[in-house]
Amino acid sequence: MRPLLAARAGLVLAALTPVPALAQAYQCAVPRSIAPVGPQAPDGPVRKVAVAGYTLAASWSPDYCKMSGETDSMQCSRRNGRFGFVLHGLWPEARNGPAPQWCATRPLPSPDLLRRHMCMTPSASLLAHEWAKHGSCMTKRPETYFKVSAILWRSIRWPDADRLSREDDLTVGDLRRAFLAGNPDWTADQVGVDVSRGGWLRAIELCYGKDFMPRACDRRQWGPGDSTPLKIWRGL
């Protein structure tokens, strides 16, 4: 499957969603050049298990910037644009048990390859980390991993979380319904939501089968139920 990974994702998503995604990077300006990113140090054990599906994780950038305290990074400084939802990563999932990870730390993605995807994921170090930890368990080439990630990313219409944040008595279900309004091929059980202990939106996590078609999330991926109160930090 690996040599056909990008082609399969492209064919499936072309049929599934013919309309391009709404931009989530406001006036994004990519740096003219970036320094090479070295090998990534594993933060867990090597786990080479069969891939049974995927999660596309989109972080809500204003919350990340608030919680991290970053002020000088591309994602948070506002010098390179302002960001809403950004791609955290495309993660392979196992059928049962812990997901595959850290299958290889090489080859290293080139600075030019990382730079081309920094309006989708505005951090070269995060891109390199996601390739080494997750992408290396999907394909042997970082180019293929980022191509598939970008195909999936562009296929989605991300909800206007800034507008939603101004609604009274907002719930997780309101966010899911806003997502479904822009993505009618999806169903609510395929849309995971990650919320902090304080009730703030952290991420949307979309669940895919091995064939890159949407599938129902498991309980862990799906997150809190629709009636759960939700807060969204604007910070834009």
Query: At 144, which CATH number?
Result: 3.90.730.10
d(CA 78, CA 66): 13
Residue 196 placed within a domain? yes
- State residue 5's pLDDT score: 62
Number of folded domains that form the chain: 1
Domain for residue 231, yes or no? Answer: no
- Predicted local distance difference test score (pLDDT) of residue 46: 98
The pLDDT tens digits of the residues spanning 203-213 come to 999 999 999 99
Q: Which two structure tokens, joined as six digits, stand for 174?
A: 């309101």
Q: Which neighbouring-strand residues pair with 97?
A: none
Rounded CA separation 101/138 (Å): 9
Task: Name 99's bridge partners.
Answer: none
- Can you give the C-alpha Rg of the chain in angstroms? 17
Please tell me the predicted confidence (pLDDT) of residue 43.
96
Tell me what pLDDT residue 235 has. 77
Q: Is residue 95 part of a domain?
A: yes
Q: pLDDT tens across 8-52, in order?
A: 454 444 434 433 333 466 778 898 889 999 999 999 999 999 999
Task: Looking at 17-106, list the stretches that DSSP marks H as alpha helix, in order from N- to C-terminal side.
Answer: 61-68
Residue 42 lies in a domain: no
Q: Which residues contact 226 (CB under 8 A, 6 or more apart)?
A: 171, 172, 173, 176, 188
Q: Of 156, 153, 213, nearest to 18 (Cα)? A: 156
- pLDDT tens for each residue of 182-228: 999 999 999 999 999 999 999 999 999 999 999 999 999 999 999 99
The pLDDT of 152-170, averaged and rounded, is 95
| % of residues, the chain, pLDDT over 90 | 81
pTM: 0.89
* Range(s) of the domain holding residue 103: 2-32+47-222
Residue 20 within any structural domain of the chain: yes
**Kind and range of the H or E element at 149?**
helix 142-154
Residue 79 inside a domain? The answer is yes
